[in-house]
Amino acid sequence: MHRPSAHQRPPILHSVFALTLIVSGGLVFLVQPMFSRMVLPRFGGVPAVWNTCVVFFQAMLFLGYGYAHLLSTKLDVRRQVLLHGVVLLVPLVSLPIAAGWNPPAEGSPIPSLLGLLAISVGLPFFVVSTTAPLLQRWFSRTRHPTATDPYFLYAASNVGSLLALVAYPLLLEQTLPLRAHRLIWTGGYFVLIGLVLACGVIVLRTGGSDVPAASQHAESVPVPAGRPRLPNASPTPPITWSRLRWLALSFVPASLMMSVTLSVTSDIAAVPLLWVIPLSLYLLSFMFAFAQRQRLPLALVARVMPLFAIVLTIVLISEATQPVWLLMIVE
């Protein structure tokens, strides 16, 4: 009996990977306001608590991406699937997530908060954070028609992240106790395990190999304008000044997002709704950047954004307060 190829059944493969990324993105950004809400009564409602949590979670994201890179470049696909399947089971020992101790009576609470984050949520968050880069690499090794351009999956991940961020303060926090939040996250993690393993089976059955299948048919599949082709490779790229410059630039938007959050929560109130608004806008920018269809031409963005940054800088330096409608648009 003829077995349909990946080209003949793209909707199923495409949908499973996209759904997995949506679930993982939702878990990554649901746990951030949830855990911050859990420790807020103990550590005080100060903006530093939220910013410390954000820094910790971004550091764990960085480690998760590093793990995904090493796994996808050092092992063949079959071993990747087997090893990551085991790794997915390890965080079960620390679920459901709980905040275990109180901060010290004197001194800075930040070291105690970082220790609590590492023990209580560090392991499950780390494992979930590996999903997006790892599944993009797996998808690129299938024979799906869009395998040479897997970056749309990053947009799918950010859709899940944005939905979780919006749902937490507007829905979960208002209707359910914290214990229910923890159980929902744990249930979502079990769903994620099943979906990731399903993706692993798919990639093994649809052309997974040491060399990305994308490179085998790269010439026959068009890549949208302005998108790089996924490299055929697997060797670690050399460290160059250009790569270091891009790495340094990546710190800028994250730092600005945290600065805005600190300013808003200091001047108004340290509540989850105000925590998630800057982070939601930050994620929204990634959704536009990595979408399959570019809504704004890159050339236009390159010309407009520097001008916008100059105007914003002038407004901030001058401490302008009028006109209010213009300041709301700019800021």
Sorting pLDDT into bands at 50, 70 and 90, what band is 88?
very high
Nearest to 16 by CA among 207, 250, 203: 203
Which pLDDT belongs to residue 217?
Answer: 40
Distance, in Å, from the CA atom of 244 to the CA atom of 315, rounded to the nearest integer, reads 31
Asked whether residue 95 carries a pLDDT value surpassing 80, the answer given is yes
Percent of the chain with pLDDT strictly greater than 90: 16
d(CA 31, CA 161): 10
**Considering only 85-89, 214-218, 302-306, which range has the smallest mean pLDDT?**
214-218
Which architecture, in CATH terms, is 10-225+238-295?
Up-down Bundle (1.20)
Alpha helices by DSSP H, the chain: 10-43, 47-74, 77-89, 110-120, 122-129, 131-140, 152-167, 173-175, 178-205, 213-216, 241-267, 272-290, 298-318, 324-330
Residue 191 tokens read as 């769903």
Arithmetic mean of pLDDT, 98-124 = 79
DSSP state, 171?
I
For residue 235, give both structure tokens: 């060797």
Kindly state the percentage of the chain with pLDDT values over 70: 66
The reported pTM is: 0.72
pLDDT in tens, 304-327: 666 766 766 666 666 655 554 555
CA-wise closest residue to 155 among 290, 24, 294, 23: 290
Among candidates 121, 54, 113, which has minimal Cα distance to 257?
54
